[in-house]
Amino acid sequence: MTDHLPEKRPPSSEILFYQTEDGRSQIEVRLDQNTVWLSQNLMAELFQTTKQNISLHIQNIYAEGELVREGTVKEYLTVQREGARRISRSLEYYNLDVIISVGYRVKSHRGTQFRKWATERLREYLVKGFTMDDERLKEGRAMGADYFGELLERIRDIRASEKRFYQKIRDIYKLAIDYDAEAEETKEFFQIVQNKLHWAITGKTAAELIAERADSSKANIGLTSWKGSKVRRTDVAVAKNYLSIEEIGELNRIVVMYLDYAEDQARRRKPLYMRDWRDKIDAFLKFNERAILEDAGNVSMEVAKALALEEYERFNRRRLVEEAAKEEEEFEKIARQLEQKGRRKKK
């Protein structure tokens, strides 16, 4: 096993941190010769891809003549621990021009995030931003205990909350250090996870569950939960409203596994990324011998909602008739009571 230790560096080279827009993700960088430098490993962490992918992009950048190696690559001495030995090795770092070029080629959310950041800010501003971050480092507030301690507290708060399981999953996902509420990946995540969980527990996607269980002939159209005092149109298009108590219990147990995993990562001071949660859902389900959804299912959500609303209209018409009959019965009951009361007074 190879561990990277703090590196010996010349006085002109400073270790700084790049922070993403959410202010929580920090990547260790070098500031030297009025530019910033990252190794292939650090670029892989920044762009959430493999070192091999980064290496291939860099080779293509040079091969295509977009940049030249001279002036864009620099070797720094890195001290590594290999078993019981401490070994010094030279490691190549690449300057801002290479980092930006790789950023434009990497097809990932982190790459997109970095491209936005690099395009919107001039190089002089980038250097100033890193310098400001370096002041926090000099004050002893580098990434580490504070961040992961706070992360543990937030995970425990989620665990102790009375929120339903879907909200807990959303709250866990928001702990990712590259979390972006507007990212397409975020919007897709909740739909994908919802479908996978429903499939694992019921053998149906959310849409299939709605289409199958919405039944106007059943009490409350087949719902087991809803907002307010009675079923409304908006309630019938929500898949979780059709789940039984046993099914909800099974889903809650899966959410507990999510929380256990998140807490374990935080204790080990490992950052959590958005894609980790997408990867882990299948792993959790497979470990528990649950069925894993591989496609979008046989019923679209649009069709399911349309079917549910049709059932709701039938259900509501019957309910209105029943409510009117009940009101009429109540009216007649009151009228009889008043009539009997009037007769007693005459006597």
Examine the pLDDT at 170 and tell me if it is beyond 70. yes
Does residue 144 surpass a pLDDT of 70? no
Neighbour-count burial of 272, counting CB atoms closer than 10 A to its CB (0-12 exposed, 13-18 middle, 19+ buried)? buried
- Residue 226 dihedral angles phi and psi, to the nearest 5°: -165, 165
Strand duo 26-32 + 35-39: pairing: antiparallel
- Judge whether residue 334 has pLDDT over 80: no
Paired strand residues for 85? 82
Q: For residue 17, which of 116, 133, 100, 123 has the smallest C-alpha distance?
A: 133
Task: Please answer whether residues 36 and 125 qualify as being in contact, where contact means their C-beta atoms are separated by less than 8 angstroms.
Answer: no
Q: In the chain, what are the domain boundaries? A: 2-143, 146-323
Structure confidence at residue 62 (pLDDT): 94
Q: Which of 273, 283, 263, 265 is nearest to 44 (CA)?
A: 273
Q: What is the mean pLDDT of residues 23-38?
A: 70
Q: Using CA atoms, how far apart are residues 35 and 309, in angstroms rounded to an integer?
A: 60
Helix axes 165-173, 245-267, angle to 10 degrees: 20
- Lowest-confidence range among 11-20, 51-60, 329-338? 11-20
Mean pLDDT across 269-282: 78
Q: What are phi and psi of 7, to 5 degrees?
A: -90, 145
Q: CA of 335: how far to CAs of 31, 37, 100, 339, in Å?
A: 89, 88, 83, 6
Return mean pLDDT, the chain: 76
DSSP state of 7: P
Cα separation, 134 vs 137, in Å, equals 5
Going by pLDDT thresholds of 50, 70 and 90, the confidence category of residue 214 is: very high
- Whole-prediction pTM: 0.52
**Residues 40, 92: Cα–Cα separation, whole Å:** 8
CA 304 to CA 313: how far, in whole Å? 14
102-138: pLDDT as tens digits:
888 887 666 667 666 555 543 434 444 433 333 343 3
